[in-house]
Amino acid sequence: MKTRIISGLVMAPLLVIVLLGGYPLMLAVCFVALVGLKEFYHGFEAMDIRASYAIGAVSVLALYGINLLTGRQGITADSFRWHLLWVFAVILASLLYLFQIDQRKLEDGMATLVGILYVVFFSYHVVLVDQSRWPLLVWLVLITAFATDIMAYFSGYFFGKHKLCPKISPKKTVEGSVGGILGSVVCSGLFGYFVLPEFLIHCMVIGALGGVISQFGDLTASIFKRKMGIKDYGHLIPGHGGIMDRFDSVLFTAPLVYYYIVFVLMK
Residues 176-183 have a mean pLDDT of 97
Residues 12-31 have a mean pLDDT of 90
Q: Is the pLDDT of residue 211 over 60?
A: yes
- Supply angle C-alpha 208, 129, 88, rounded to 5: 110
Q: Is the pLDDT of residue 23 over 60?
A: yes
> How confident is residue 75, by pLDDT bands cut at 50, 70 and 90?
confident
| pLDDT at residue 71, as a whole number | 87
Per-chain mean pLDDT for the chain: 92
Q: Is the pLDDT of residue 9 over 80?
A: no
Residues 87-91 have a mean pLDDT of 98
The set of residues, in sequence order, having a beta carbon less than 8 Å from that of 153 and lying 6+ positions away, is 4, 176, 180
Q: Is the pLDDT of residue 63 over 60?
A: yes
Residues 21-32 have a mean pLDDT of 96
pLDDT tens-place string over residues 104-137: 999 999 999 999 999 999 999 999 999 999 999 9
pTM above 0.85, yes or no: yes
The string of DSSP codes covering 182-221 is: HHHHHHHHHHHHHT-GGGHHHHHHHHHHHHHHHHHHHHHH
Residues 181-204 have a mean pLDDT of 98
The set of residues, in sequence order, having a beta carbon less than 8 Å from that of 52 and lying 6+ positions away, is 93, 94, 97, 108, 112
Other CB atoms within 10 A of residue 263 CB? 9
For residue 172, what is the enclosing H or E element? strand 169-173
| pLDDT at residue 238, as a whole number | 58
Query: 196 with 203: CB under 8 angstroms?
Result: yes
Q: Is the pLDDT of residue 222 over 90?
A: yes
